[in-house]
Amino acid sequence: MNVENAEFTVEHEGEASKTLVVGMSEFGLAGLTAVDYLVDRLELEKTGCITTEDLPSITPFEDGRPRHHTRFFSSEEVDFTVLAGELFIPLDAAKSFGDAVIDWTTANGVDEVVVLTGLVGPHSHDQHDVYYVATDDYRERVDGHLEPMGGGFLEGVHAEVVAHGIDTSLSVGALLTPAHPPMQDVDAAVRLVEAFKTVYGVDVDTSELRGYAREIREQYEQLAERMRKIEDESRRRVAEDRAYM
């Protein structure tokens, strides 16, 4: 299957907000978890979706009800639209998907895009902050709130969307924080939501998300402890077997 030329169909009802907030499926799921939480806590309503027949698809469901994997959300109470993408977009299809999103922003008068994402890579514990990568016009929004990312590169859908803003009038920024795959990094999602609150002045209580983060940490700590016990028991048995050889 040649996914490089994958076609994406965008459907949206009503008037789009001037700002689009994007969170996609990626390693660590930080950005997707963050926008999902915003949708839930701000009680945003589904206003559209993006579909494709050219990629291996998924059909998420909740309480027995299926849904589209990539959806738009908005509300009259907030001045931004959220795009939450649960389908992982492979690198070869990133340009096609990014073009579909950019074409939609142009057709709907969107003048600002912000991407929430977890950055996977070497970092120290004291680097667990949220940074930004942004075009000059978007820097005016985040300067004084966050620090710029020192260096590196974006890839995939995020790279396509941010790059589009370099030579166009679209104001584009990415809010990034270190993420730790393969598990769902909810702590990273908490940092992204808090940063989004600071930059956009949105009143969102993150206590529930912080509680979920603690649960996830405890589950993985318990799993790691069980794995250590299994490994220690295996080594003990090997040592005992060798003693009787």
pLDDT of residue 238: 55
pLDDT band (50, 70, 90) for residue 224: low
pLDDT of residue 186: 92
pLDDT of residue 128: 79
pLDDT of residue 123: 53
Distance CA 97, CA 55 (A): 11
pLDDT of residue 241: 58
Instruction: Give the residue with greater pLDDT, 1 vs 158.
Output: 158
pLDDT band (50, 70, 90) for residue 244: low
pLDDT band (50, 70, 90) for residue 245: low
Instruction: Give the residue with greater pLDDT, 124 vs 209.
Output: 209
Structural contact between residues 119 and 179, judged by C-beta atoms closer than 8 angstroms: yes
pLDDT band (50, 70, 90) for residue 113: very high
Q: Which of 221, 217, 198, 201 is nearest to 209 (CA)?
A: 217
HSE at residue 71, side-chain half, CA atoms within 13 A, is 16
Instruction: Give the residue with greater pLDDT, 181 vs 31.
Output: 31
DSSP state of 15: P
Quote the longest CA-to-CA distance of the chain: 77
Residue with structure tokens 């469901």? 61
pLDDT, tens only, 32-51: 999 999 999 999 999 999 99
pLDDT band (50, 70, 90) for residue 184: confident
pLDDT of residue 221: 66
3-state percent helix, strand, coil for the chain, nearest multiple of 5 = 40, 25, 35
Per DSSP, helices labelled H in 42-185 are: 94-107, 136-142, 156-164
Percent of the chain with pLDDT over 70: 88
pLDDT of residue 206: 94
Residue with structure tokens 């070497």? 122
Instruction: Give the residue with greater pLDDT, 212 vs 89.
Output: 89
pLDDT of residue 124: 54
Residue 233, H or E segment: helix 207-243
Distance CA 20, CA 114 (A): 6
Mean of pLDDT values over 72-87: 96
